[in-house]
Amino acid sequence: MRQLRGKALNQFLRTIEAPSRLDMVFVLQDMQDPINVGSAFRIADAAGVRRMILTGITTCPPHPLIKKVGRGRDRRISWEYVEDAATALADLRDEGYGAVAVEIATDAKRFDRFDYPAKLALVMGHEDHGVTNRTLAACDDAVYLPMLGKGASLNVHVSLGVVAYHVLSQFGQEPPTG
């Protein structure tokens, strides 16, 4: 076994297709740290997410740390700024999306035991305060990641990556072409 590099890596990556039944959007509510925002863009690209909505006090591109950490993915992923997350979620609901917050909240379900909708708006909140109650009220559901240690949560971009990839696995991957 050896690492793939160059042409072999590019050929391998072309065989991977996003699940065709899944349409996932990331909604970042009040995510201030540009490192987390840049990481969210990189995760979006890796998970086949084509659209992100940045709301509230979320740091927006162009920003040098978003560019550096996200490795320029903010230029590849379509994004828009909407002042209010609840308004953005109402618009997404009109487009047929179900909104699921990643937050420790009443009635939240464990992330790996939840049946995600095929049109999914995945909502992430502020690094310290999480998803606000107003935004939670605009969501259809909430999921949480179980914490087995003394900490109450993972870093917000780590949580986003864990949940996004779990959603991908729930919808399965199309067989490689060629």
Assess whether pLDDT exceeds 60 at residue 177: no
Mean pLDDT, rounded, for 26-51: 97
- Phi and psi dihedrals of 148, rounded to 5? -95, -10
Residues 71 and 35: their CA atoms lie apart, in Å, by: 11
Task: Dump pLDDT digits (tens) for 134-170.
Answer: 999 999 999 999 999 998 889 999 999 999 999 999 9
Q: What is the pLDDT of residue 174?
A: 52
Average pLDDT over the chain, rounded to an integer: 94
* Confidence (pTM): 0.92
Model confidence at 175: pLDDT above 70: no
Beta strands in the chain (DSSP E): 23-29, 51-55, 78-82, 98-102, 109-110, 119-124, 141-144
- Asked if the model's pLDDT at residue 55 lies above 50, the reply is yes
Residue appearing with tokens 């899944």: 22
- At 20 the pLDDT is 82
Domains of the chain (ranges, CATH numbers): 19-171 (3.40.1280.10)
Whether residue 25 has pLDDT greater than 60: yes
